[in-house]
């Protein structure tokens, strides 16, 4: 995601870590090369009775799936056929020794301009599971996103029984209006951006919205099988609870790392996160259909889209059954309340690495990081719509993000890779206050 960007000093630390890990795994690396072409083009899409012209990859919404194996090289040629500049970010891919292929516009590269193309070139190293890709400039990621499936190396099994089928489940947000106008307005006024009109599952809002019954994603399953749901939260800003009526799932992976499996009725997933869960279907043909629903977890003061998206889990109809699918009862899951912090905390505390994590144990430097959403004064001659006429501004250690003047790819191209990032980012907040208490009034 592009919402929070690591400060320079962390980037440098991450790079050194990355180099170390690369040398560890380099010896075993021997994958193939996979080629993809992404044509950035416009497509008309209708949801909630609103038709809009949106930016897509290859005319598809959500976009195409990238499938690779750990150790493979991936070459994606992105061709820009539209009037907007664009870049694509490979969310979660570690980009060991290929940082310039990461994608955030103006950070790792200048965007791909109209009529131009760029070939992203990277290897997936030491990661297995689900990741995803999305546009990384302004708010084009609201429609330009898709899954990255990273399979284990050839001959390496999953640390669990091979699922019968694997299905991507991607959460997103639908805006009836133009999302570029929404973010432009928010940046101008300094207020919170307008919220979405619906959440989506695989691009569909589902039957709980008006004028949406036909725009419902349906997963047809066979009884007594294990399905792996590759879940991605591609929503712009919202953490989401997700649950399937009358079914428990087993969480086995998060952000392309295996976790100690645990069962749960409800998962919580933040924007940008991915997780694989195993869904074991009931042992016999079911006499009901089941809704899968997602809606946010939110505790901030700002407004947010508090609606619920739904998809349908439907058992294949038994040939001898006297039931007609249309006549079956539709069961809904129970989701925690929108502000259920107790559930959120207890869910998050269940994550444990399956394998012993390989991390440095000797600590050289300690950094104190505060991350917050504060305000900055309204510029002169402006009207601002943040709290008390200010502008919202996110910060790390009281420093807000500013784009670098040289992108990483530029620096790499001109052989100036050692001068882009400074290492003077404060390792302590510049102004201390009680970060968990009542915030000070700086306006």
Ligand X SMILES: *[C@@H]1O[C@H](CO)[C@@H](O)[C@H](O)[C@H]1NC(C)=O
1 binds, among Cu ion, ligand X, none (CB under 5 to 8 A by kind): Cu ion
> Given CA atoms 382, 385, 386, 389 in this order, what sign does their dihedral have?
positive
> With binding defined as CB under 6 A, does residue 417 bind ligand X?
no
* Residue 264 interacting entry, from Cu ion, ligand X, none, C-beta within 5 to 8 Å by type: none
**For Cu ion, which residue of 47, 91, 230, 391 counts as binding (CB under 5 A)?**
91
For the segment 170-189, give every residue that binds ligand X (CB under 6 A).
177, 181-182, 185
Residue from 11, 288, 298, 420 in contact with ligand X (CB under 6 A): 288
* Binder among 38, 61, 100, 209 for ligand X (CB under 6 A): 209
> Closest distance between ligand X and the C-beta of residue 20, in Å?
19
Residue 1 as a binder of Cu ion (CB under 5 A): the answer is yes
CB of 110 to ligand X, least distance (A): 5
Distance CA 109, CA 87 (A): 8
Cis peptide before 62 (omega within 30 of 0): yes
Contact between 187 and 162 (Cβ < 8 Å): no
- Which residue in this structure is represented by tokens 């000070």? 440
* Spatial separation of the C-alpha atoms in residues 122 and 137, rounded to whole Å: 20
Among residues 110 and 420, whose Cβ is nearest to ligand X?
A: 110
Measured distance CA(79)–CA(142) in Å, rounded: 19
Q: Which does 58 bind (CB under 5 to 8 A by kind): ligand X, Cu ion, none?
A: none
Distance from the first to the final alpha carbon of the chain: 29
CA 248 to chain centre: 23
Considering just the CA atoms, what is the radius of gyration of the chain in Å?
23
Piece in contact with ligand X (CB under 6 A), picked from 20-28, 107-115, 151-159, 271-279:
107-115
Out of 27, 30, 162, 210, which residue is the one contacting ligand X (CB under 6 A)?
Answer: 210
Annotate each residue in 262-291 with x if it binds Cu ion (CB under 5 A) or - if it does not, as one string.
Answer: ----------x-------------------
Count of beta carbons in the 10 Å neighbourhood of residue 343: 16
- 227-246 residues near ligand X, rule: CB under 6 A: 246
85 interacts with ligand X by CB under 6 A: yes
Q: 91 contacts which partner out of Cu ion, ligand X, none, CB within 5 to 8 A by kind?
A: Cu ion
Instruction: State the number of binding residues for Cu ion (CB under 5 A).
Output: 3
Q: Which of 271, 280, 215 is nearest to 246 (CA)?
A: 280
58 binds ligand X (CB under 6 A): no
Q: 77 and 38 in contact (C-beta within 8 Å)?
A: yes
Least separation in angstroms between residue 194's CB and Cu ion is: 21
Sign of CA dihedral 97, 101, 105, 110: positive
Query: Among 362, 372, 292, which residue's Cα sits nearest to residue 333?
Result: 292
Taking the least distance from each CB to ligand X, the nearer of 138 and 276 is 138
Q: Strand order of the sheet with strand 226-233?
A: 198-201, 165-174, 226-233, 274-280, 249-254, 257-264
Residue ranges binding ligand X (CB under 6 A) = 42-44, 53, 75, 85, 110-111, 113, 119, 121, 177, 181-182, 185, 194, 209-210, 246, 286-288, 303, 306, 329, 337-339, 380-381, 388, 434, 436-437, 441, 443
Residue ranges binding Cu ion (CB under 5 A) = 1, 91, 272
């Amino acid at each position: 995601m592009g919402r929070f960007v690591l400060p320079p000093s962390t980037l440098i630390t991450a790079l050194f870590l990355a180099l170390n890990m690369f040398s560890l795994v380099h010896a075993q690396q021997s994958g193939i090369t996979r080629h993809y072409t992404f044509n950035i083009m416009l497509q008309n899409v209708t949801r909630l009775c609103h038709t809009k012209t949106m930016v897509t990859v290859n005319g598809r919404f959500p976009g195409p799936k990238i499938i690779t194996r750990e150790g493979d090289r991936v070459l994606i040629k992105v061709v820009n056929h539209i009037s907007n500049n664009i870049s694509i970010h490979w969310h979660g891919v570690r980009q060991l020794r290929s940082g310039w292929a990461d994608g955030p516009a103006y950070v790792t590269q200048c965007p791909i301009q109209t009529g131009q193309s760029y070939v992203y070139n990277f290897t997936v190293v030491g990661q297995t599971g689900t990741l995803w890709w999305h546009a990384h400039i302004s708010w084009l990621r609201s429609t330009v996103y898709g899954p990255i499936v990273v399979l284990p190396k050839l001959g390496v099994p999953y640390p669990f029984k091979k699922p019968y089928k694997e299905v991507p489940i991607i959460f997103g947000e639908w805006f009836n209006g133009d999302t570029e106008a929404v973010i432009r307005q928010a940046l101008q006024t300094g207020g919170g951006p307008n919220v979405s009109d619906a959440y989506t599952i695989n691009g569909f809002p589902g039957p709980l919205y008006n004028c949406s019954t036909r725009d419902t994603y349906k997963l047809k399953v066979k009884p007594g099988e294990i399905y792996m749901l590759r879940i991605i939260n591609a929503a712009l800003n919202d953490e989401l609870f997700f649950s399937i009526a009358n079914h428990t799932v087993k969480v086995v992976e998060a952000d392309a790392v295996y976790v100690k499996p645990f069962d749960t009725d409800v998962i919580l997933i933040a924007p940008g996160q991915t997780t694989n869960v195993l869904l074991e279907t009931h042992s016999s043909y079911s006499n009901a259909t089941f809704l899968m629903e997602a809606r946010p977890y939110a505790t901030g003061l700002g407004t947010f889209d508090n609606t619920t998206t739904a998809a349908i889990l439907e058992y294949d109809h038994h040939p001898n059954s006297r039931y007609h699918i249309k006549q079956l009862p539709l069961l809904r899951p129970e989701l925690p309340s929108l502000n259920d912090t107790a559930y959120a905390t207890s869910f998050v505390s269940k994550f444990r690495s399956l394998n012993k994590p390989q991390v440095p144990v000797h600590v050289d430097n300690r950094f104190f990081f505060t991350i917050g959403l504060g305000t900055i004064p309204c510029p002169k001659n402006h009207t601002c719509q943040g709290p008390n006429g200010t502008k919202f501004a996110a910060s790390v250690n009281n420093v807000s993000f500013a784009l670098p003047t040289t992108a990483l790819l530029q620096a790499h191209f001109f052989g100036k890779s050692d001068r882009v990032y400074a290492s003077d980012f404060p390792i302590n907040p510049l102004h201390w206050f009680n970060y968990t208490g009542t915030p000070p009034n700086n306006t």
